[in-house]
Amino acid sequence: MFQRKVGLAIAKRVIDQRVAIDLAAEQPDGLHVCLCGTGSPIADPKRAGPCVFVIAGKRLYVIDAGDGATRNMALMGLQMGRIDAILLTHFHSDHIASLGEMMLVRWASTGNSQPVEVFGPQGVESVVEGFNRAYELDKAYRVAHHGADIVPPSGAGGVARPFTLPEGEETKQTILERDGLTVTAFSVDHSPVFPAVGYRFDYKGRSVVISGDTVPSRNLSHVSNGVDLLVHEGLQAELVGIIHDAAVRHGRKNLAAITADIPSYHTAPEDAAKIARQAGVRHLAFYHIIPPLPFSYFNAAYLGGADTFYEGPMTVGTDGLLFSLPADSDVIGLQRLLRFTS
């Protein structure tokens, strides 16, 4: 008979605590790197699509917008209205699926009066325009319902900030310099996908590289020289081969063809480990995990022989994993903001 009263009392307390959370504001000065999506296009109940966010000081940047990532960010206590910019590595569907929702929540949750900047290589203009057009009706509904004071029409959607990196060259370019933060875009090889880039963040003596999707890249190795943290994609071909063989046995022609193709434009964990060693990286973390790993017990099979090539700490990423790199130090802290049974 007391369930309703007890439930309401608990709900009041829990909701009050969650509404008060402001993850970005609570972090000490430094670089804080969170894996808000570590999955791939292959369905995985514990992993959203690829997405990383970086807190530099009090500024917030999001790299890619995989499916489900926006909701993960909210569950972690991130105030979405704080997003300064979204940076896209390339335009495969699994890296942009949540872009519309992310732009919407950033606008509506705090009433931003300016659209979010969306940085990316050439072609980002088309992607941003497409999402803006797709959300035009939704924008009108929300303004009509809540009023322009709460959701200013001028703040909806995004504005593209394109940059150009030539094809086939090992190039890099500084795309952002703000409040002591430098963001560098660099070319990677995800052929036939072009353009494709990774990003390096430098802030107050700390550094991180996010690979995006790529085969082993000499340019990425150069750009990653001496970084504190390398967040690298990883595909374990032996495990993908098991899926391929099952698809062949059961007559799944398209699945068999796709699983035969995808190793050709991704990086094996062993090769990422070689890059980390060559570049002198202090910590290697994997995201864009292919294939899905049902339990953490499978991490060793996923890593394969990576530990024979790199002796530093390696982490198989999970959604909600936060790496904290305090300013002007050599500490790399680790915290789990989401919990899943594994």
Give catalytic residue positions. 94
Three-class SS of residue 52? Answer: strand
Q: Show Cβ contacts of residue 265 under 8 Å, excluding neighbours closer than 6 positions.
A: 189, 190, 191, 192, 193, 213, 214, 215
Strand intervals (E) in 4-93 = 30-37, 51-56, 59-63, 83-87
Phi-psi region of 258 (alpha: psi -120 to 50; beta: other; left: phi over 0): alpha
Cα separation, 238 vs 27, in Å, equals 39
C-beta separation of 325 from 32 below 8 A? yes
C-beta separation of 284 from 232 below 8 A? yes
CA angle 238, 261, 291 (to 5 degrees): 45
Q: Which of 189, 271, 180, 276 is nearest to 227 (CA)?
A: 276
Burial (0-12, 13-18, 19+ Cβ within 10 Å), 145:
exposed
Complete edge-to-edge strand list for the sheet that includes strand 83-87: 158-163, 116-121, 83-87, 59-63, 51-56, 30-37, 321-326, 333-336
CA 205 to chain centre: 22
Residue located via tokens 């550094």: 207
Residue located via tokens 């709460």: 150
- C-alpha radius of gyration, the chain, whole number: 20
